[in-house]
Amino acid sequence: MGLLSPQDEIVLKQHLSTLSKPVQLVLFTQAFGGSESGQVAKQILDEIAGLNDKITVVEKSFVLDLEDKAKYKVDKAPAIVILSDDVDTRMRMYGAPTGYEFVGLVEAILVAGTGNIDLEPETMAWIQAVTTPTHIQVFSTPT
């Protein structure tokens, strides 16, 4: 049995039908000594990928795949690296994308697969005016 209800699958499949580019979800997990959230993250990603053939899940070992871990600057597991047609979007999610984080994951997939960013023009202008490298992190806690 999946994590998504049949109704949720229908709605999500409809949202994901707008993807025009392939999206790869690179999942770094730690099999031994890692948390249970890696397994939950894998199950969620597999369910999402099963709804659209443009989405693929690539599994990496946090311990063994050191080259990829360094390439994507992953420093904790589980980690989800979101690629758009094999190009790094620099979007990362850490932990299992459950609760509110699930919506963020779906939005990130839509941005990667369509190139559309749903922000006000003033917000986009402000972001585009940033000229120095900026590291932004958003933390959320399921309630």
Ordered by start, the domain boundaries in the chain are 6-128
pTM of the model: 0.89
**Burial degree of 88 (CB within 10 A; 0-12, 13-18, 19+):** middle
pLDDT for 33: 67
Closest CA to 79 of 50, 58, 48, 110: 58
pLDDT for 32: 72
Both structure tokens of 106: 């779906």
For residues 12 and 4, the answer to whether their CB atoms sit within 8 Å is yes
Q: What is the CATH code for 6-128?
A: 3.40.30.10
Which amino acid is it at 41?
A
Strand partners, 88: 83
- Give the Cα separation of 67 and 39 in Å (integer): 22
Mean pLDDT by 10 residues, the chain (143 residues): 83 95 96 80 95 97 95 95 96 90 94 93 92 82 58
pLDDT for 111: 96
> Cα dihedral angle (63, 72, 22, 117), rounded to 10 degrees?
130
